[in-house]
Structure 1
Amino acid sequence: MSTETTPETTSATTTAAARPATDIDRIADDYLAKFVALSPITATYLGIAGHDEELDDFSPAGHEAHAELRAETLALLDGATPVDDIDRVTLAAMRERLGLADETYRAGLDEMALNVIASPLQEVRGCFDLMPTATDEDWGAISRRLTRVPDALAGWKESLLSASAKGHIAPRRQVEACIRQCADLVADDGYFAHLVEGARLSDDTGAGELAESTKDALATAAEGASAAYSQLGRWLKDHLLDDAPVADACGEERYALVSRSFLGATVDLAETYAWGQQEVERITAEMEQVAEQIKPGSTVKEAIAALDADPAYQLHGTDELKAWMQKRADEAIANLAGTHFDIPDPVRTIECLIAPTQTGGIYYTGPSEDFSRPGRMWWSVPKGVTEFGTWKELTTVYHEGVPGHHLQVAQTVFRSELLNKWRRMFAWTSGHGEGWALYAERLMDELGYMDDPGNKMGLLDSQSLRAARVVIDIGVHGRFDAPAEVGGGEWTYDKAWQYLTDHANQGEAWLRFELDRYLGWPGQAPSYKIGERLWMQLRDQVQEREGDSFSLKDFHRRALDIGGVGLDTLRAAVLGELT
């Protein structure tokens, strides 16, 4: 690598002179500005102001506009000359990300996008969670955006019809699940009803009540949005369901593409499938050893039942859950700052919240660029769930908070003196991000934070789930033979369910949703565990190269300061192999 200042050589807590913007920085930031103009939902997610009353165009014309922007940007990058290592990373990362996005579009995957977790159905609804609610004007913006929901969903239906005409339709299982999600959203106790009933000012002025005119506008807009989702559910049933394929598998050719997209790396699918099964076996053996510590003579499931019954690990109600999340997250930040990580002051704040949805799962949303909106850990608690076990959830706090997603994302956002806005705010690859979060869980174990047998079982249980879905996801979609323990031969839903429940210990409703997710969003779920594997391999390579001079803290700083690029780009950047 050259000797210019790079993210690998500047501390995250150092106040440094701003690096002059280069041509490549300007191309990257111009791309981001044009992208969020086309995708206001992304603007809201990133905390970029100016688009809060708009929604994306999910029609074929909207997808083509994105394709044109990518082509224009790639052409500009081809004519640009990098001046330092930061530019070289940006150039490699943008070519890889935009190139793969174009391959995905040309393969028809954008138009046909429909699944239980990450398609326009969820994206349109989800953006409202991140909008400010402090003032009447904030709620006015929410109301005006709600009025655009019918058009956004209509554009999506255009794309689904266009894809259907080309023979590209999501599996029947996904269509059925999305129909059910529409019904849940518009139910009397669904999202839109709660949005109106729970509308309050979130600042400290007065009693927090909205003006009557604002309430009326919100109720009218929410009613229109709810009607659009209700109509969408009927439309999916009438226009898509009968033609949707029964088979869940996408096939090895398409799977290879989506795997590269989620990882930013190319892996040998057959070798990775075999490795996934080996990981499941390794983790199972370790869980059996920990079970013996928890309850001598017990099986893993018996030890887990004992943990669930132990009052020392129990939380009652979402208020206790939220307070516990916040306390554990704050403790991790206090303990790790200055020891194993450089954590800038703005990054030392994370907000833990109960999500307004009830689909299950925990997720992270990053801070706005100025940190006026902090990074947030959200817990979506399923209906009727009021009891929680800390033994299984502590590892998730580390995954979503520090040293996981919050440190990873927010530290990159903070690096404005070195990195362009595209690198800081938008460069994201699932294998990088989720792989780091699993690496963070494992690191906390290495540092002694999971020595309690209950907490260790929670870590291993989480790891077992992540390894099992490598096997299920690659096996089903790549059409590899199923493991002997479920009968071998061709994968079926029942075999996948048996394998999942044999190696995961969450509740049935949660696991059913998880399995639907794997079957409808190929390549994403394995990116966690495969990403962790590639992160660990990179750390081992750096440690072997540096020998006694290796510093874990320095490795973390160098790697995280690069940002959420694809894993092949990350490896080349850390090892100095970009030219």
Structure 2
Amino acid sequence: MKNSIYKIIAIAVITFSCQNSSENQVDTVEPELAFDKMLENYHEERLQLFPLDATFAGDTRYNHILPNNLTERFKLKLTDFYTTYLEALESYEKSSLSEDQRMSYEVLKWECEMNLKDLNFPMDLMPIDQMWSMNLMFGQLASGSSAQPFNTFEDYENWLKRVDQYIAWGDSAIANMKKGIEQNVVLPKPLIKKVIPQIESLAKGPYNEHLFYSPAKNFPSEFSEDQKTALSESYKNMVEGQIIPLYSRMAEFFNNQYLEAGRETTGIDALPFGKEYYQHQIKKYTTTDMTADEVFQLGKDEVARISKEMEKVKEQVGFKGDLKSFFNHVRTKPELMPFTEPEEVIANFNAIHEKMKPQLSQLFDKTPKTPFQVKRTEAFREASASAEYNQGSKDGSRPGTFYVPIPDVEAYNMYSDESLFLHEAIPGHHYQISLQQENENLPEFRRTLWYSAYGEGWALYSESLGKELGLYTDPYQYFGMLGAEMHRAIRLVVDAGMHSQGWTREQAIQYSLENEAESEESIEREIERYMANPGQALSYKVGQLKIIELRKKAQEAMGEKFDIKQFHNIVLETGCIPLKLLEEKVEAYINN
């Protein structure tokens, strides 16, 4: 295996410093500096392999690059990259590192090991799905209102260069899915049916109404007429000559070959490597060693516990009937569907923000500088999308954005909007991600790092803070919080059920309908989401339960000395880390 030049430099610095130390030298400084330099090099080299991460962080250096991550050449690069840095870590004595550096050591070790294991599974044979894949993210960027900037003439040219490489990615995706058909590694049919309309919507003109032409409709005012004319022509040619033909090829393949080849089975365990892959996914997304059976049982226990809390709310509002009937009551209650225009939904979320603002300082003394906004999800993906948060840029020039899908405004039910805002926005993802990105004490690679168990666990924990923040005064909104928590508990059951217990898509949908108040359409989208990315849905509840456990432990151990603001600082200041490392950090805080 070829060694990276960065590894050679890092080890050489350490070796030199040790060989040349003397009584008059402080021989602990150089290894620490070398370690920090190694982390810096890791970050810089990684950004070139994952330039979209740089774009989303507001680093514009690689905005013209999109490596084809579906090729064997790219996979070999990744293998070399992670192996090199894993070997580099072994050259450092942990005892010579500072406490912060030892945390970075453990985080980087986890990163390298987990990503190398990822490469053992042929998931590149299923590169497109209805929820998570590159084509959906790229469509967001193409809108001109996401992370890809369109402020200068160079920005517009960078996007054209990136589109050139995206075309190659799209053709590789088709080629890989054809290989997947040969090896019986294909998506379930229901997911394929959801992908087809997404693709077909982008396989037609006219060019000036196409999503990918959007930036050419919003040129900065300082552009000259010659610049506008040249770019308009380039973007017209890009849409008509590259994008529409690519999506036409994709649509033809999906309709004429892939749909017929789609599998009838639901869970990933139906694939030859599926059981091993699902256990890997559990570890990746929960950062624990839980088994599928343990996840399944935890989910059932949590469903039973939360159901008892829901019964109390049902009695409080005076509903006569069983809990399942109450779910239908909540789903269809006209007062909970008051909106006639999408703008009213957005305004309601902004009103929630205003209502909780006065109480935020009681729980947090560190808040992000990055601005925040609520936006409607783009039309091309709205029908299959869930509410989500996209981080702002590290320098704060691009705000963090809470995207809300509103496919049918008159059917939009607001009963869980308060808990949804706490989760996706403030103090959930926006606080956690922005504070992490803004923390200059963290090495660069950790400022944009994401562990779902920590990040989603924090967001779900944030939902439990509603009463402390002056929300949930309406019993239906409190029921919405319980519903959101129930939703995450159900995820443990249905995700493990489908991918390890032989459950079908239909069984999972039925279980959800019987235990939560979400609409059938929404539940169907969610179940198919779990089918597309096994294990991801487990992270929320596992992470939330760990943070709640650590807060309770700190309160009991510290008594009157416990400070909720300081506890939140302790949890948030390191950014995303595996749960075991978070637990060790909180225990050190308690014992100080």
TM-score normalised by length of structure 1? 0.85
Partner of 1:245: 263
- After TM superposition, the structure 1 = structure 2 runs for residues 23-422 of structure 1, keeping only pairs within 5 Å, are 23-58=34-69, 59-82=71-94, 83-128=97-142, 129-135=146-152, 137-161=154-178, 167-186=184-203, 193-196=210-213, 199-201=216-218, 211-223=228-240, 224-238=242-256, 240-251=258-269, 252-300=275-323, 301-302=325-326, 305=329, 309=333, 311=335, 314-329=338-353, 331-333=355-357, 335-337=359-361, 339-344=362-367, 346-347=369-370, 349-357=371-379, 358-359=382-383, 360-382=385-407, 384-386=408-410, 388-416=412-440, 418-422=441-445
User: What secondary structure sits across from 1:130 in the alignment?
Assistant: coil
TM-superposed deviation, 1:228: 0.8
**SS of 1:57's equivalent?**
coil
Residue by residue, what CA displacement relative to the aligned partner does 1:449-486 show, whole Å, maximum 9, x if unpaired? 2132121121122222221121010111112xxxxxxx
**Contact (CA 8 Å) 1:38, 1:56: kept in 2 or not?**
yes
Using the TM superposition, name which of 395-404 and 26-35 deviates more: 26-35
Greater mean deviation of Cα atoms: 497-506 or 361-370: 497-506
Alignment match, 1:529: 541
- Maintained 8 Å contact 1:114/1:120: yes
Following superposition, the deviation at residue 342 of structure 1 comes to 2.3
Contact kept, 8 Å, 2:355 with 2:470, in 1: the verdict is no
The answer to whether the 8 A contact 1:182-1:232 is kept is yes
Evaluate the alpha carbon distance shift between residue 135 and residue 278 of structure 1 in structure 2; reply closer, same or farther with a 3 A threshold.
same
Contact map agreement 2:340 2:410 (CA 8 A) in 1: yes
Deviates more, 1:548-557 or 1:198-207: 198-207
Distance 1:89 1:331, change over 3 A: farther
Contact 1:134–1:201, Cα closer than 8 Å, also in 2: no
Q: C-alpha separation between the residues in 2 aligned to 1:161 and 1:46? A: 34
**Corresponding position of 2:12:** none
Could you tell me how far apart the structure 2 residues matched to 1:434 and 1:56 are?
28
Report SS of the residue matched to 2:394. Answer: coil
Query: For structure 1, which runs of at least 5 residues remain unmatched after alignment?
Result: 1-19, 480-489
Higher mean C-alpha deviation, range 190-199 or range 102-111: 190-199
Change (3 A) 1:26 1:117: farther
Shift of 1:240: 4.4
Is this contact kept in 2: 1:41–1:123, CA < 8 A? no
AA in 2 matched with 1:246:
E
Match of 1:431 in 2: 453
Q: CA deviation at 1:415?
A: 0.9
Number of equivalenced pairs: 543
Cα distance between partner residues in 2 of 1:65 and 1:192: 39
What SS does the aligned partner of 2:402 have?
Answer: strand
Where 1:316 maps in the other structure, the secondary structure is coil
Q: What is the DSSP-based 3-state SS (H/G/I as helix, E as strand, rest coil) of the residue aligned with 2:43? A: helix
Which residue matches 1:8? none
Q: Whole-Å Cα distance in 2 between the matches of residues 303 and 155 of structure 1?
A: 45
Which residue in 2 is equivalent to 1:6?
Answer: none
Higher-Rg structure is 2
Unaligned runs of 5+ in 2: 1-30, 270-274
Residues 282 and 146 (structure 1), Cα distance of their counterparts in 2 relative to 1, 3 Å cut: same
Is 1:444 the counterpart of 2:469? The answer is: no
- In structure 2, the residue corresponding to 1:115 is in which secondary structure? coil
Structure 1 or 2: larger helix share?
A: 2
Q: CA RMSD in A?
A: 3.1
The alpha carbon displacement at 1:331 in A equals: 4.8
Shift of 1:277: 1.3
Q: Secondary structure at the match of 2:403?
A: strand
Equivalent residue number for residue 561 of structure 1:
573
User: Whole-Å Cα distance in 2 between the matches of residues 284 and 523 of structure 1?
Assistant: 24
Amino acid at match of 1:233: A
Distance 2:476 2:356 in 1: 18
Write out per-residue CA displacement over residues 258-316 of structure 1, whole angstroms, 9 at most, x where no aligned residue.
01111222224323312211221222232232123334425555576468645587333
CA change 1:97–1:545 in 2 (3 A) is farther
Could you tell me how far apart the structure 1 residues matched to 2:46 and 2:154 are? 26
Q: Given the superposition, is the C-alpha separation of residues 492 and 344 from structure 1 closer, same or farther in structure 2, using an over 3 Å criterion?
A: closer
Distance 1:330 1:187, change over 3 A: farther
Instruction: Summarize the Cα distance change of 1:127–1:70 in structure 2 as closer, same or farther, 3 Å threshold.
Output: farther
Distance 2:150 2:72 in 1: 33
Q: Using the aligned pairs only, state the percent identity.
A: 23
2:224 and 2:365 mapped to 1: Cα distance?
41
Letter of the 2:138 counterpart: V
Aligned to 1:465: 487
Query: How far apart, CA to CA, are the structure 1 residues paired with 2:354 and 2:487?
Result: 27
| Distance in 1, Cα, partners of 2:182 & 2:588 | 47
